[in-house]
Structure 1
């Protein structure tokens, strides 16, 4: 039986200097461990947020030489702490980049990897235009891992808009789903809370969404409001718009309660597409 588990959520304003970003993650990990958390979750692109791809390129390296990943692994081992590193920009062997989520165990080892499947290629009414696929290659695998929270499903940001991925995570009976993000302000104001709550409800699972916030060194602005949502869709933590670390307790009894009242996962039927 899984026990209630205290987690930490880091909300940050990642910049263009990986060393500064690594220092923020390491300090947050130390605080999380000091306050009794078993896991800490960080946002999408925790190590580098730079829309100038020419400037960013020297800092996008393979896992083995990524200084932010190394710092996070050392911090995890030093504090016996799980770190759900929301994502890093990582160089692949084929020369493309991956937006990769990395789950680090309390021994500092990498327990799971997930490459973001859905690329953020949009033109917003605000005038913002994004083409993630110009540099990043999409992943193609659904990933779950055993953690102190139970089965944790890994996703990244724009993935939240694609229900099929979350249907599969529900089918795999995930107890919690990580949705690290760097949401724009217009899309955050319109859809952030709604989508996070919906994904928690349909999977009957906890959602942990660590987010970027504020004005970044590359000129972009992100929405913030890192959330923890319970399986009933209730928001139990909202970090608002400022950087910082928040805490919540993931209680498996709540998951059991919700799944007993509304056994939607058990009641699901396959729909013919013919």
Structure 2
């Protein structure tokens, strides 16, 4: 496995933001924390899912905006001012009357490289614990989202997207060495599956996995689990927050990724003759 342009290490920062009901306050605080992360050497900074508004189906229509719009314009400016790649968590997007849960990604010159619309909507019902139906207000996206950096290719999903192993596999087949999922698991699914899913996607694909959650607000209608994390291709959690507002840093070592893939060469050992289309047809 070759390492793009010889840059074997870079620093990632996860901004675990405490989200309030004030969009303007959320945007200002996010920009302050992004600058702080850049000052600490981060070349890629990640915001949480729904970072500019409270998370909930009743809030999505109220806080939704066009792209480009107020929030993405501010993200573009802060990426350019600090010369970083910025994965802008997600915001409720309004496009021709349809609402999406959308992540914008910005280059160091402020250009929006892509926007990822959450592919898999969070519609769950765990009796006695939590029921949530994103599809009551949101529409699903249908595009894969991969972008290039001088360090490696990065694949982007949002929260519930992480539960679908096929998406991570496709991103890895496209050459991604880092998968990033802004997310907001809750107090039921968070302790059960948040770290487990990250470690599974990392080990299955021998990639780094990074997740960024909002900080926990016990008074919110939807309480986020927190615990923004970075997991190595070996499945080790190499950086993790607790529940409070903070910034988590990790150094992404692509030489280490190459070594893991050499030691356990699953990418060369896949039995494509036995599974895939053939299995689906049977």
Query: TM above 0.5, one fold?
Result: yes
Judge conservation of contact 2:60–2:92 (CA < 8 Å) in 1: no
TM value normalised by structure 1: 0.94
SS at match of 2:172: helix
TM value normalised by structure 2: 0.92
Q: How does 1:131-142 map to 2 (within 5 A)?
A: 131-142=133-144
What's the offset of the Cα at 1:13?
A: 2.3
Match of 2:156 in 1: 154
Structure 1 counterpart of 2:202, from 200, 223, 237? 200
Judge conservation of contact 2:61–2:137 (CA < 8 Å) in 1: no
Judge conservation of contact 1:117–1:139 (CA < 8 Å) in 2: yes
Judge conservation of contact 1:15–1:50 (CA < 8 Å) in 2: no
Question: Within 2, Cα distance between the matches of 1:246 and 1:218?
Answer: 23
SS at match of 1:98: strand
Match of 1:4 in 2: 9
Judge conservation of contact 2:34–2:45 (CA < 8 Å) in 1: yes
What's the offset of the Cα at 1:119?
A: 0.5
Match of 1:83 in 2: 86
1:20 matches 2:25: yes
Structure 2 counterpart of 1:164, from 162, 166, 169? 166
Match of 1:114 in 2: 116
Quick check: 17-26 or 212-221, which moved more? 212-221
Question: May I ask how many residue pairs the two structures share in their alignment?
Answer: 271
Match of 1:224 in 2: 226
Question: Within 2, Cα distance between the matches of 1:246 and 1:98?
Answer: 27
Question: Within 2, Cα distance between the matches of 1:154 and 1:243?
Answer: 23
Match of 1:260 in 2: 262
Question: Within 1, Cα distance between the matches of 2:57 and 2:80?
Answer: 33
Structure 2 counterpart of 1:209, from 211, 219, 234? 211
SS at match of 1:185: coil
Match of 1:32 in 2: 37
1:244 matches 2:246: yes
